[in-house]
Amino acid sequence: MTWLDYVIFALYFAGVLAIGLHFFRRNESREDYYVGGRRISAGHVGMSIVATDVGGGFSIGLGGLGFAIGLAGSWLLFTGLVGAWLCAVVMVPRIKALDVTHGLLTYPDFLRLRYGKPVAAVAALISGIGYLGFTSAQILAGAKLAAGSVFADITWADPLKLSLYLMAAVILIYTVLGGIKAVIYTDTMQWIILLAGLALFGLPFAYVRVGGWAGMTETLPDGHFRLTNVSPVQIVNWFVTIIPIWFVAMTLYQRIYACRSVKDAKRAFFIAGLLEYPVMAFLGVALGMMARVVFPTAEPEMAMPMLLRDALPMGITGIVIAAYFSAIMSTADSCLIASSANWVNDVVGQLGVCLSTRAFMRLSQIVTLVVGILALLLAGAFDTVLGLILNAYAFMVSGLLVPTLGAYFWKRSRPQAALISMLGGGGLTLYLTFKETSLPGGLDPSLFGIALSFVLFVGISLLPDRRTAHA
């Protein structure tokens, strides 16, 4: 990178921090801090949804999949299209109607209405821990990008560790200050920068760098140009792990609450689905494929940042690298504010402690800071971005999906069933994940966790009610 690239990079970060400071001055209540005053437009929310879901983790992860298996890696984000549109049709009308009546702030607020406080508290713990993992994944993604591009040539420090600390510092500052408004409006800016940077600069210059179509076909395996270059089991694992997250993701509930109406909320989710697939899906894997042409022996998730660093001319490198940083931060900030809301609203807020508006705002900022620091420490303990994301997804989905669907669609579901199925499903997935046991057919541990959660939930809900039996 040249001096001009560093200047562009610095100006980008200054702009992001300025947005955080702006909303720090304008936030007046916890509704402002966590759901944007419930008056944000569909366009902003839609771009924030896709920026949050794709973000840096999937952007860097997509590049790694494009490197490893080619175009078939795009199936990873096809799950985003399916999840977003299912959510728009099935979940949004129901949850937004409840929000209008009850003024909800978080995903566990919804479960509290249906199952009561104990279930909501357990859901908040699962969600809060899961989003801590998501935030860590995004910080790690940003650090890998910076280590392979911005700080690749430094010798006085470990590039990856330096990048971890800098990424965490910037994300923490503007998220702690500005809350969800800063998150959503920076997401909009960041998504525009990402798409423009990749489509107008990154892809064309990288294509020239690798020698065009001829250079790719001569170097890459034939399978890289086929959508079938992935096992059916892997696609099933992606679908089982990722699509259900759309029904239990705290970040998505916050955005539904932030919309002005049911119509706006549905439109936002339809916009998000199309931006994920095909737009971002094929951009990401294509860059990963080109990176393999230039750096065939590199670590898959590091090759794309290296390509962008070397292939682009002065000035353009700064724009495209900033674009990828924008994707990373757009997910990290959303996950950070979601985890913070779980701890503040759904754990501390249910202890009966009365706080003034100003005290609540300060508590929210302190908790956001603490969660961010813990995420930084966790990021340093993992090697791969995609693995960390999928582990966090699996933990949340296996514990929360079945009770959440029951809350929407089954009147006979009971609080005891919800609580036990959460603990059983999430616990089994964690056990299988960390034990690293070989599972039948190579299936993901979350599939077994969801199955156990379903059995527990249905079985306990169908047991005779003691009060009815005694009567």
Domains and CATH numbers, the chain: 3-386 (1.20.1730.10)
Q: How high is the pLDDT of residue 388?
A: 61
Q: Which residues of the chain have pLDDT under 50?
A: 468-471
Q: How high is the pLDDT of residue 468?
A: 45
Q: What is the pTM of this model?
A: 0.83
Q: How high is the pLDDT of residue 466?
A: 56
Contact 274, 81 (CB under 8 A): yes
Q: How high is the pLDDT of residue 86?
A: 94
Q: How high is the pLDDT of residue 11?
A: 83
Q: How high is the pLDDT of residue 392?
A: 72
Q: How high is the pLDDT of residue 116?
A: 93
CA-to-CA distance for 366 and 371, rounded, in angstroms?
9
CA-to-CA distance for 238 and 471, rounded, in angstroms?
48
